[in-house]
């Protein structure tokens, strides 16, 4: 078992030191607080990741739309040139 690069012997040592420092009555409360803090950090991390993905998707959609508009503008200009050419030839 290896969590955050900490093996089982290190975890046991940390638990013993925490038990000695905080005492058996305070340790569960500290554990709950630590668990809530870690959960809050995970939630914030996921929210940041989701927001980043949404922004990236919006930028990608914007770039695609710009490319489509640019392509249709080129087509429109080509059609206008053909119409002008045809109208000047018919005169």
pTM to 2 decimals?
0.51
The span from the CA of 9 to the CA of 23, in Å, is: 20
**Residue 31 half-sphere exposure toward CB, CA atoms < 13 A:** 10
Report the pLDDT value the prediction gives residue 69, as an integer from 0 to 100.
75
Mean pLDDT over 25-53 rounds to 90
Domain boundaries, the chain: 8-90
Cβ partners under 8 Å of residue 3, min gap 6 = 11
Amino acid 50: pLDDT: 95
48 or 85, greater pLDDT: 48
pLDDT 10s digits, 61-81: 888 888 777 777 777 777 777
pLDDT value for 14: 86
Q: What's residue 5's pLDDT?
A: 77
């Amino acid at each position: 078992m290896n969590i955050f690069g900490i093996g089982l012997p290190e975890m046991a040592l940390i638990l013993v030191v925490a038990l000695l420092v905080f005492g058996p009555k305070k340790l569960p409360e500290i554990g709950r607080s630590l668990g809530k803090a870690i959960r809050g950090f995970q939630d914030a991390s996921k929210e940041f990741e989701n927001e980043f993905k949404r922004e990236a998707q919006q930028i990608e959609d914007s770039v695609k739309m710009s490319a489509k508009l640019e392509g249709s503008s080129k087509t429109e200009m080509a059609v206008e040139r053909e119409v002008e050419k045809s109208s000047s030839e018919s005169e």
